[in-house]
Amino acid sequence: MTAPRTGHVAILMATRNGAEFLRAQLDSLAAQDHDDWSLWIGDDGSTDATRAIVEAFAHSHPQRTVSLRDGPRRGSMANFLSLLCAPDIRADFFALADQDDVWLPVRLSRGLAACATADGAAVLYGARTIVTDRDLARHRLSPHFRRPPGFPNALVQSLAGGNTMMLDAAARETVMRAGRREGAVCHDWWLYQLLSGAGARIVYDTQPSVLYRQHGANQIGSNLSVAARMERVAGLFHGRYRDWNQRNLDELRAVKALLTPENRDLLDRFGSLRNLSGPAAVAALRDLGLYRQTRAGNLSLYGAAFLGLL
């Protein structure tokens, strides 16, 4: 990996009743080998000790900017977008953090090094994770996606978890221009769609630097489990995937002016494709060049197209 781009990183964290695991995450932020960072937390009405833990952390790190503010209380996506769009949060880079993960010491420095490969272009970085149980045991890696990231993939699939993402100031400016598009399915998929569509460089890191703690209270939780994957397949045939696509398309159309001409055309053609079914839909999907990251994912994508469920 190339030499890191240097600069100040604003760490953006959405919290809600996260007291059980928050101290470990904050301690891992303090242990980062890139020391030039500040922490900005939007709290969605916690009723446990979350706010007290943040205040104690700020008190024990008086040299550090630690800002705690009220979140919009409309879920984690709205919370993260409110932080990304807050004009008073200024930095060279912006890293998203979940309240219940643990970062390896290289989380920021590795993201900065990856961003250096963008050669000055707007950039969105994301990575694999080390998936653990609630006690940070039973490690396994999230899937290793091998196809290139980009808008033809982003239209039909999310790529990296928001808890691994970092974006530079130019990419963040695009997010601010788009505004709080809370109708999209989730913030990580939305950032991937918006920024790849706007022509930003997407960097996918196959080396993880986040311990992604799975437990009963996380919103995504066991999204990587076999049962969750089967549930998603069932949801496809019950129209859930089509609903997700509609929500994302509605938001992308609202910010269409931010997309490159090529990607505006791809967006329009995907919208038209969704009105087809059968062999015509399959042929149109092939012509568009849209793809998911795995063979099984592409089989389900083409099956959805055939059944008119895109």
Quick one: pLDDT at residue 121? 87
Quick one: pLDDT at residue 120? 80
Q: What is the pLDDT of residues 1-33, one digit of tens each?
A: 555 568 999 999 999 999 999 999 999 999 999
Dihedral in degrees, nearest 10, Cα atoms 186, 291, 176, 244: -30
Angle at 126 between CA 88 and CA 291, to 5 degrees: 125
Query: Greater confidence, 233 or 139?
Result: 139
CA–CA gap between residue 107 and residue 31 (Å, rounded): 10
CA–CA gap between residue 290 and residue 276 (Å, rounded): 15
Residue 210 corresponds to which amino acid?
Answer: V
Domain-wise residue ranges, the chain: 9-213, 226-306
pTM over 0.85: yes
Can you tell me the mean pLDDT for 62-67? 98
pLDDT band, very low/low/confident/very high, at 234 (cuts 50, 70, 90): low
Q: What is the pLDDT of residues 141-197, one digit of tens each?
A: 999 999 999 999 999 999 999 999 999 999 999 999 999 999 999 999 999 999 999
CA–CA gap between residue 27 and residue 80 (Å, rounded): 21
Quick one: pLDDT at residue 198? 99
pLDDT at 304 over 60: yes
Q: Hey, which CATH number is domain 9-213, 3.10.310.70, 3.90.550.10, 3.30.70.1230, 3.40.50.970? A: 3.90.550.10
Can you tell me the mean pLDDT for 104-116? 96
Quick one: pLDDT at residue 228? 58
pLDDT at 53 over 90: yes
Residues 6+ apart with CB under 8 A from 46: 15, 16, 17, 18, 19
